[in-house]
Amino acid sequence: MAAGRLHEIEEAYGDQVTVEYKVFPLGPTREEIESMFGSAERAKREILGHWAAAQRLDGGGEIDPELMAGRPFDYPYSMPALRAVKAAEFQGGMPAHARMYDRLQRAHLVQARDVTDPQTLAECAAEIGLDPERFGSDLAADATLHAVLADQQEALAQGISATPTVVLNGRWVISGAVPVEVYRQAIDDVLAGRDPGGPRVR
């Protein structure tokens, strides 16, 4: 998964590279998911087909589409989890953002938990050491929703509409589930003053 590969980059490059994480709601509400796919049932079936493909990629072995298929709830829409990630960021900056994203991604893809459930979000926040009272307050705040939407608008203004997408130095775009070596080569080019090629932001 892209987040894990970016963690590898952070560890390998140290203070040569700073990663700033953003969120992007692909299916922010239950209604939007149903509109995109035609029904909640079809959405879950088609999205889990993507899970199965991701399971076969490097680092995707723990993804469990069969477990999620057996869950009684509809496929989780993204806004509650992204608000939780931003609430974590408000409390602990970019490191907390990354920890909460990783914890919720595991809860979602591996444990097949309902990441629209406030109890799930609160438990994941507690597990990464966030203050529960502040987390609950930030999760419900309008500022948190606005922060999610601001990230989305920033991406759209740059011509980005899919995840995962990495932007290097605000100029070069790497989209899709690429191997960590692709990130390494592009970063090495930038650090050496070379143009890494590929698409650019608008």
Mean pLDDT, range 47-75, rounded to an integer: 93
**Residue range 91-122, pLDDT digits in tens:** 999 999 999 999 999 999 999 999 999 999 99
**Which residues have C-beta within 8 Å of that of residue 53, sequence separation ≥ 6?**
none
Percent of the chain with pLDDT over 70: 100
Residue 77: CB atoms within 10 Å: 22
Confidence of residue 154 (pLDDT cuts 50, 70, 90): very high
pLDDT one-digit tens code per residue, 1-45:
788 899 999 999 999 999 999 999 999 999 999 999 999 999 999
Q: What phi and psi values does residue 43 have, to the nearest 5 degrees?
A: -60, -50
Domains for the chain: give ranges and CATH numbers: 2-191 (3.40.30.10)
Neighbouring residues of 15: CB distance < 8 A, sequence distance ≥ 6 = none
Banded model confidence at residue 153, pLDDT cuts 50, 70, 90: very high
Q: What is the pTM of this model?
A: 0.93
pLDDT of residue 129: 98
